[in-house]
Amino acid sequence: MTKSLYVRVVITFVGAVIVSMLLGLMLNGRFTDQIRYSVQDSMILTGKKIIQAYINAYPNNTDAVLLGLSAFPNYSIRLLDGEGTVLFESVAKKDKPPEFHEKAIEYVLQGGIFQRQQNKSKNPTIGLPFTINDKHFALFVETNYDDIDQIFAHAIRNEMLVILGIGSLFIAIAARYVVRPLQRLTRATRLMAKGDFNVRLKSKHKDEIGQLTASFNQMAQELGAIEQTRRQFVSDVSHEIQSPLTSIKGFTHALMQKQMDEGNRMRLLGIIAEESDRLSRLSEDLLQLSSLDYEHLKLNVSNYRLDEQVRGVIIALEPQWSGKSLVVSLEAEPLLLSADRDRLNQLWMNLLGNAVKFTDNGDNIAIAIRDLGDHVLTTIKDSGQGIPEDELGNIFKPFYKVDKARDRAIHGNGIGLSIVKRIVDLHEGEIQISSRMGEGTTVTVSLPKHR
């Protein structure tokens, strides 16, 4: 089977032309019949003109008219009187004189018009009656149709061969013009399969080929961005895992090789336990982020009181915010929401936990829930040190941390906000974060009330 699109296009065209030629040959018989009828009508018209010329020349100048009839090279002409006597005869082909049946001669002399179609042995013939001074005559005209038939058939064959040749040449050129962009796309796709996502194609076409090229360039760009994100993600995960593992390994060797008092031993064991918890949280967050990124994830939607959920999250985090002497306020009216309760509970835990984590001791956190009709707007505002404006566009990326978050005293791996963003997207909502250094941070979450 031919795999080349170029060859298949050319073969398809040539095959279509050949089929068309075969159909033309099948219809050739019909066209030939039409030509025969046309020739026969022309013969009748010619015969009438001959008769009129003979009548006008009768009786003195008939010889001149009959002599002129010999000038018709493709016609055999025979003139007979009322007794059936041949007055004149000219034969187009000397080796094949015309044959007329006696019944045909009698029929014409009696006033009938004789017409004979071509068959295998005889050419088209017409017989016309006419009368001069009550004398009956019959004029028979036979055409040498074999020559016309052969010329017509030869012309048709030549025309078809020319069409086949020129058409094949044009389609070969046109097919190469069409296939060339596809060949470039194939080469570019192979480069992309090898990991080169910087490949780009140029096209001036505005048709389907141009659209395909534009789609390919867009795909290459998006795959390149995905690949860059993947590499960065792997690098960040490796960094996050390597740091606690290094600590655990170092302190474990210290415990194994050194003699130390109970106090120092417990301090090192505490650090190992803390780093182990850090690895455990990282693993849980990665699994959570992976499950939220699953394409066919379905939410477990139910109706519940959003204000009660947020109030429960505040109570659950009381040890953290009360330990920092923070003032947490909630402004909310009873409000029903249709959503995945467990996912949103995780969302509020992350957002409020971040607010508590990055707010200085003795400051305050304000939470407000507002009903906007079709949507619910939840705002969490803290009075912490804030986030630099040039970093706000990156905070939803996995493992991204602002400088303050890198403080060893503040636990976190930079995945929390990525999980939050995915949960909001799954609920077809929106999340915005605004912040200024020294003025705190405000997180606004807009969710549809009904799903």
Domain boundaries, the chain: 5-149, 208-290, 298-448
Q: What is the mean pLDDT of the chain?
A: 77
State the pLDDT at residue 367.
92
Is a pLDDT exceeding 60 seen at residue 80? yes
Q: Whose CA is closest to 373, among 339, 427, 347, 335? A: 335
Beta bridge partners of 81: 137
In sequence order, what DSSP letters do the residues of 89-158 get, joined into one string?
Answer: EE-SSTTS-----HHHHHHHHTT--EEE---SS---EEEEEEEETTEEEEEEEEE-HHHHHHHHHHHHHH
Exposure class string for 61-88: b at 16+ Cβ within 10 A, else e: ebeebbeebeebeebbbbbbeeeeeeeb
pLDDT tens digit sequence for 253-271? 877 776 777 787 788 888 8
Please give the CATH topology (third level) of the domain spanning 298-448: Heat Shock Protein 90 (3.30.565)
At 407, is the pLDDT very low, low, confident or very high (cuts 50, 70, 90)? very low
pLDDT tens digit sequence for 153-197? 666 667 767 776 776 777 777 667 677 777 788 888 888 888 787
Please give the CATH topology (third level) of the domain spanning 5-149: Beta-Lactamase (3.30.450)
414 near 401, Cβ under 8 Å?
yes
pLDDT tens digit sequence for 322-359? 888 889 999 988 899 999 888 888 889 888 988 888 88
More confident residue, 436 or 310: 310
* Average pLDDT over every residue of 279-297: 64
Give the span between the Cα atoms of 67 and 244, in whole angstroms. Answer: 124
Q: Whose CA is closest to 41, among 124, 130, 159, 150? A: 124
Give the torsion through C-alpha atoms of 115, 119, 121, 124, to 10 deg: 30
Tokens 């290459």, residue located: 220
User: How is residue 381 annotated by DSSP?
Assistant: E
* Average pLDDT over every residue of 273-297: 67
State the pLDDT at residue 378.
93
Is a pLDDT exceeding 50 seen at residue 394? yes
Question: CATH code for 208-290?
Answer: 1.10.287.130
Is a pLDDT exceeding 70 seen at residue 133? yes
Q: C-alpha angle with apex 413: 344 to 442, nearest 5 degrees?
A: 50
**SS3 assignment, position 448:** strand
Strands (DSSP E) found in 27-84: 75-81
At 29, is the pLDDT very low, low, confident or very high (cuts 50, 70, 90)? low
At 28, is the pLDDT very low, low, confident or very high (cuts 50, 70, 90)? low
For 28, list phi and psi in degrees, rounded to 5: -60, -35
Highest mean pLDDT range out of 72-76, 173-177, 202-206, 310-314? 310-314
